[in-house]
Amino acid sequence: MNEAQLYSLQRLSAVIMAPLVVVHLITIMYAVRGGLSAEEILARTSGASAWTVFYGVFVVAVSVHAPLGLRKILIEWAGVKRR
């Protein structure tokens, strides 16, 4: 892939991640304020296919976004050469 495609892919993953991060943070804040433990949260969400899909998409988006960002940091700040 060329630089423009990698740039676009990282931006696309950011667009996908943004609402997912917001929903995740709201969910965690709601659960913590409600006094739920991690075990209780997992018990409530296990078996719910919507949460499985939600976090599956989240993990894929992060898996695309993070390495591209780290690559860019290494190229720009650490002076690592492109292949």
Domain of 38, in residue numbers: 3-76
Give domain status of residue 83, yes or no.
Answer: no
Number of H helices, E strands in the chain: 3, 0
pTM of the model: 0.84
Query: What is the domain count for the chain?
Result: 1
Integer Cα distance of 34 and 47 in angstroms: 21
Give domain status of residue 29, yes or no.
Answer: yes
pLDDT of the residue at 49: 92
Integer Cα distance of 29 and 31 in angstroms: 5
Element (H, E) at 16: helix 3-33
What is the full per-residue pLDDT of the chain (83 aa) written as tens digits?
999 999 999 999 999 999 999 999 999 999 989 899 889 988 888 888 999 999 999 999 999 999 999 999 999 998 888 77
